[in-house]
């Protein structure tokens, strides 16, 4: 008889017990889940009952509200129009109730999803306000701001701004249609034919005619057109303007006299490139920086800066300045009359210096300086000596050319250029270097160097006589394209084309006077011009070296005329002068940068009593 396997039996019993325990645990887990589900079901049932109860109450409120509106509608119809079937009162009541009861966010969601409201209702409401705004004075002021933004816009440009800011071509491109957003048209500027009468109606004070008041005794061919304003009247208006706070900059004076500057020069535009303008600026602005936005036209005429008309205006201006500095005037401020006093401090001017290759020369008032400002008393001494020499020469049998040569040599020996008494009188002592001319002349010279290199790189054949014959992949063609598209120098690009077509065959250099706008565009974007022609160079060639030097030269020039680099102005001017002198050739404006600019700016800082640093880039 086989033996019973006790070990196997014990193992089987253990396995069955473990199986029972595991199944009991699973059963217990299922029972817990059933209990939790039953509990959740009960909670959901109770929540559902609460929601149903709320809905029932809300339905009652809605029914009561609808019934009340219907009752109000019936009463309204009976009181106003008993026989009418118009439901507008009820509809207005419904909308009014919605506006009162609903929040702003709910109204936005509801109205924005309504096509009828957006396309039909809102435009009608909006157009009523739009029509009122377009006829308002606020729109006139906005249009005037657009017309004068960045200088006078002019009729042609303003009409284009008016057109393209308010209209566009329709889908068929047959006619213009109003620009609109969700059927709501954009506000239009005031048309040119309406804005000009408004501008002319603005009181600017007394405007004097140059022809009527300063051209007396002149032939008809010598008379010029232009206008000028009274200095005293204009200063009072400027004081009231700055005190009003309309400029956004607080005026700083600490009960000291208002300081102002006056300067004038010709400009390269107009029929004969001879217009002359005199500008006035208050220096007590809180920023301590002068820009073109703080310059105001005092005199403007289509004449040369040295003509008789300008000389007569200067004499009148000097008399006004002396009277203004001696007197105390009144202006309006916050509805009250306050006393103001003005002091003339600056006369921005050109500087001419000989011996431009002297790298060690300095400019200043000290004994150690090579060049010093000419004082008015010293100028008069030279003038008196010149008059004595002329009287002596007049008694000798010499030709006029010989007499003139002797007078010129005598003035040069005195290290002066003063033959006649300065028209400005003792105000000439307040003349300082005016960086705008230096910047424009330096930019024109740097561009001339760069243009010569570009033509040398292009190596155009003699058969090309017109710029239109230049290949599009030529360096000069790419140079011109970059100038128009990226540098904003379209005027300069057109002048280059005209010069190429007319003057290049005669081997005449480009004669182009840079304006402040041209200089700004050139200094901000000169690397685009250099990058356009640099790929045409061989590595290590002389032309590549010249382009790199020009890049550094323009960079230093940019630092010299940038407001943020005034702290390191002396170093930047010195580096620019040395690069210009050692690689190219020296000129008078280079030495002005080297010596006059740092000294003049330092003098401005010490003379202005509140320690503000002045930048006179916007003088012309």
H/E run at residue 598: helix 597-607
First-residue to last-residue Cα distance in the chain? 132
pTM, 2 dp: 0.60
pLDDT for res 189: 92
Check: CB of residue 179 under 8 Å from CB of residue 168: yes
619 pLDDT band (50/70/90 cuts)? very low
Let me know: does 259 contact 283? Beta carbons within 8 Å: yes
Task: List, as one string, the DSSP characters of 527-568.
Answer: HHHHHHHGGGSPTT-HHHHHHHHHHHHHHHHHHHH-GGGGGG
pLDDT value at 96 more than 80: no
What pLDDT band is residue 288 in, cutting at 50, 70 and 90?
low
197, 203, 208, 209: CA torsion to nearest 10? 0
Task: Go through the chain and tell me how many residues it has.
Answer: 620
Task: Round the average pLDDT of the chain to a whole number and report it.
Answer: 77
- What is the percent of the chain with per-residue pLDDT over 90, rounded to a whole number? 3
Range with the poorest average pLDDT among 151-160, 387-396, 475-484, 504-513 = 504-513
Q: At what angle do helices 6-79 and 88-101 cross, to 10 degrees?
A: 130
d(CA 285, CA 610): 11
| Sequence-separated (6 or more) residues with CB below 8 Å from residue 187 | 130, 133, 134, 139, 166
Distance CA 269, CA 255 (A): 41
Residue 239 φ/ψ, nearest 5 degrees:
-60, -45
Q: What is the DSSP letter of 183?
A: T
- Pair of tokens at residue 576: 């620019």
pLDDT the model gives residue 557: 80
221 contacts 308 by C-beta, under 8 angstroms: no
Confidence of residue 610 (pLDDT cuts 50, 70, 90): very low
- Give the number of other CB atoms < 10 A from CB of residue 421: 15
Instruction: Work out whether strand 167-169 and strand 184-185 pair parallel, antiparallel, or are unpaired.
Output: unpaired
pLDDT of residue 49: 86
Task: Please state, in angstroms and rounded to a whole number, the distance separating the CA atoms of residues 329 and 325.
Answer: 10
What is the predicted pLDDT for the residue at 248? 63
Q: Is residue 604 predicted with pLDDT exceeding 60? A: no
pLDDT of residue 420: 78
Report the candidate in 193, 187, 342, 196 with the shortest Cα–Cα distance to residue 260.
Answer: 342
> How many of the other CB atoms lie within 10 Å of CB of 442?
28
Please write the tens of the pLDDT for every residue from 384-442. Answer: 888 888 888 888 888 888 888 888 888 888 777 777 777 777 777 777 666 667 788 88
pLDDT digits (tens, 9 = 90+) for 180-206: 888 888 899 999 999 999 888 888 788
- Residue 176: predicted pLDDT: 84
Sign of CA dihedral 537, 543, 548, 551: negative
State the pLDDT at residue 463.
Answer: 81
């Amino acid at each position: 008889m086989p033996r019973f396997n006790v070990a196997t039996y014990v193992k089987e019993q253990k396995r069955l017990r473990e199986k029972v325990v595991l199944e009991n645990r699973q059963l217990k887990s299922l029972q817990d889940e059933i209990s939790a589900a039953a509990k959740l079901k009960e909670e959901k049932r109770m929540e559902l009952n609460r929601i149903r109860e709320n809905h029932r109450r809300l339905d009652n409120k809605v029914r009561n509200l609808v019934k009340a509106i219907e009752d109000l509608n019936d009463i309204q119809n009976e009181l106003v129009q008993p026989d009418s079937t118009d439901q507008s009162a009820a509809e207005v009541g419904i909308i009014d109730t919605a506006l009162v009861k609903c929040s702003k966010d709910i109204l936005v969601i509801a109205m924005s999803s309504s096509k009828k409201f957006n396309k039909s209702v809102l435009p009608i409401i909006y157009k009523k306000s739009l029509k009122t705004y377009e006829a308002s004075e606020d729109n006139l002021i906005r249009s005037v701001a657009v017309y004068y933004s960045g200088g006078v816009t002019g009729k042609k440009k303003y009409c284009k701004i008016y057109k393209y800011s308010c209209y566009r071509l329709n889908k068929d491109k047959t006619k213009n249609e109003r620009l609109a957003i969700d059927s709501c048209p954009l506000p239009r500027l005031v048309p040119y034919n309406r804005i000009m009468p408004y501008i002319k109606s603005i009181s600017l004070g007394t405007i004097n005619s140059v022809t009527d008041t300063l051209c007396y005794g002149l032939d008809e061919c010598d008379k010029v057109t232009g206008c000028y304003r009274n200095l005293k009247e204009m200063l009072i208006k400027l004081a009231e303007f700055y005190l009003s706070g309309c400029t956004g900059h607080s005026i700083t004076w600490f009960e000291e006299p208002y300081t102002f500057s006056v300067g004038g020069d010709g400009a390269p535009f107009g029929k004969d490139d001879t217009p002359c303008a005199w500008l006035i600026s208050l220096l007590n602005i809180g920023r301590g920086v002068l820009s073109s936005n703080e310059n105001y036209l005092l005199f403007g005429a289509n004449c040369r800066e040295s003509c008789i008309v300008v000389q007569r205006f200067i004499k009148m201006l000097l008399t006004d300045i002396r009277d203004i500095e001696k007197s105390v005037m009144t202006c309006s401020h916050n509805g009250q009359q306050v006393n103001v006093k003005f002091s003339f401090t600056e006369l921005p001017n050109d500087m001419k210096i000989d011996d431009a290759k002297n790298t060690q020369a300095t400019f200043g008032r000290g004994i150690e300086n090579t060049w010093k400002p000419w004082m008015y008393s010293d100028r008069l001494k030279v003038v008196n000596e010149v008059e004595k020499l002329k009287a002596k020469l007049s008694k000798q049998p010499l030709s006029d050319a010989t007499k003139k040569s002797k007078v010129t040599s005598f003035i040069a020996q005195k290290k002066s250029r003063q033959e006649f008494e300065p028209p400005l009188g003792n105000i000439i002592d307040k003349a300082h270097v005016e960086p705008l001319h230096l910047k424009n002349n330096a930019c024109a010279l740097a561009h001339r160097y760069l243009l010569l290199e570009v033509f040398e790189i292009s190596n155009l054949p003699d058969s090309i006589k017109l710029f239109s014959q230049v290949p599009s992949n030529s360096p000069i063609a790419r140079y011109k394209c970059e100038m128009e598209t990226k540098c904003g120098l379209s005027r300069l690009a057109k002048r280059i084309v005209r010069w190429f077509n007319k003057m290049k065959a005669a081997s005449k250099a480009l004669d182009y006077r840079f304006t402040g706008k041209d200089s700004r565009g050139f200094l901000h974007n000169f690397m685009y011009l250099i990058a356009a022609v640099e790929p045409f160079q061989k590595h290590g060639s002389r032309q590549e070296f010249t382009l790199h030097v020009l890049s550094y030269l323009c960079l230093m020039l940019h630092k010299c005329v940038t407001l943020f680099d005034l702290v390191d102005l002396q170093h930047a001017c010195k580096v620019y002068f040395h690069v210009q002198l050692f690689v190219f050739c020296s000129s008078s404006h280079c030495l002005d940068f080297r010596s006059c600019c740092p000294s003049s700016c330092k003098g401005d800082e010490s003379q202005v009593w509140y320690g503000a640093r002045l930048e006179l880039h916007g003088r012309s």
